[in-house]
Amino acid sequence: MPKVKIARKSTAIDMTAMCDVAFLLLTFFILTATARQPEPLPVDTPASTVKIKLPDTDIATITIGSDKVFFGIPGQDIRRLLLEKMGEVYGVEFTEQEKRRFALVESFGVPIGNLKQIINLKGEERNQPGLQTGIPVDSVGVRASELHQWVYQARLATKELHNEDMRVSIKGDAKEEYPRIQKVIDILQSQNVNKFSLITSLRGADK
């Protein structure tokens, strides 16, 4: 009786198509990628039905959450100039290395006195929760508040470097109480910034 021979099939699969798809997807993701920045102050933004996207450049973001105020502005060149200007206003001398490091800090929230300390930390140490105490929003005597100065100097820096009017956006935590938001809005209005954006996340049309 002859043995029934089972034909040995090759286990190798043709990967060409799979490879094509994989690289197509890869190309798409690389081209659309904007790396997510770690945020020192995570906030839960309220939802709205607005569908206008936030612009990428020349827009400062004031983050308000858990009773702290953080300030951030895109653009390394602007941040560098901003630090120089703030140093002049408050009489703090920053070294060349500190300026370079500060240019890489996306968002921060400390009084100007503690800024050097924060600049000299490593990236991940900087974003430890509770380390940064927020930018003071109260004016001291006749001196405007530090947040006022940051916004004002950032506007000057943006105008100088990009010849654009800086826009301001407010990114508030949904549970933040209104008085604190109002304080920030008052600061903006005191320098005649009457138009700004509120950052929200998307929600379905219904509800």
Binding region for other proteins (CB under 8 A): 10, 12-16, 18-19, 22-23, 25-26, 29-30, 32-36, 45-55, 64, 169, 171-179, 181-182, 185, 189-190, 192, 194-202, 206-207
Q: Which is nearer to other proteins, 22 or 104 (CB)?
A: 22
Q: Which is nearer to other proteins, 117 or 189 (CB)?
A: 189
Give how far Cα 116 sits from Cα of 15, 120, 147, Å: 54, 6, 17
Going by C-alpha positions, the residue among 8, 40, 19, 62 that lies closest to residue 187 is 62
Q: Which residue has the tokens 């602007």?
A: 78
Rounded least distance, CB 12 to other proteins, Å: 4
Rounded least distance, CB 117 to other proteins, Å: 29
Q: Which is nearer to other proteins, 5 or 9 (CB)?
A: 9
Q: Which is nearer to other proteins, 5 or 36 (CB)?
A: 36
Going by C-alpha positions, the residue among 123, 126, 151 that lies closest to residue 59 is 151
Going by C-alpha positions, the residue among 33, 36, 37 that lies closest to residue 123 is 37
Cβ neighbours, 10 Å, residue 16: 8
